[in-house]
Amino acid sequence: MATRSLSALAAKRRLRGSHWKLERLNRELAALLQALPAPGPEEVGRMVKREVPLTVEAWLAGALRDALFHLEEAEGILEVALTKTGRGLKRDWQSGSFPLELFHSLRKVVADRQRPDSQADERDQEGQADE
């Protein structure tokens, strides 16, 4: 497994570009959701009760809304990551306000990199091909 070395500054530069792409995707998906015909509340209730079949438009509207939720979550996390400095992290760490979810994610990064047949390496290679 190859060792990668990227400074935090360089990573943040690349992250700004990715963040911009997420913002653009968010706008595109939101516009698509607005343009998509969606059922009214009564029809959704009937679909939930299985009185009428779920339509492709209704399913797609729900899937787009779910995707937008997760995309907005990702944007928020990246915004915070872009604003953090060494001093800010130290202050957060000392005050105990470091989010526990990030420790979980950090442990996953370490575990992914330790696997001999690392799928993370494959994802990295695919991501580099897209750039």
SS3 category, 76: helix
What's the pLDDT at 1?
A: 42
Domains of the chain by residue range? 8-85, 99-131
- pTM (global) more than 0.75: no
Residue 129 has pLDDT above 60, yes or no: no
Q: How confident is the model at residue 131 (pLDDT cuts 50, 70, 90)?
A: very low
Q: pLDDT of 11-61, one tens digit each?
A: 888 888 888 899 999 999 999 999 999 899 999 999 999 999 999 999 999
Q: What is the mean pLDDT of the chain?
A: 84
What stretches of 1-131 show up as alpha helix (H) in DSSP?
A: 8-35, 41-48, 56-83, 86-95, 100-114, 119-130
pLDDT value at residue 17: 86
Asked whether 1 and 113 are in contact (CB, 8 A), the reply is yes
pLDDT score recorded for residue 121? 54
What distance in Å separates the CA atoms of residue 26 and residue 67, rounded to the nearest whole number? 9
Q: Which of the two residues, 28 and 76, has the higher pLDDT score?
A: 28
Instruction: Using DSSP, state whether 116 is helix, strand or coil.
Output: coil
Total length of the chain? 131
Q: Pick 130 or 77 by higher pLDDT.
A: 77
pLDDT top residue among 95 and 131:
95
What pLDDT is stored for residue 84 in this prediction? Answer: 79
Structure tokens at 81: 């990551």
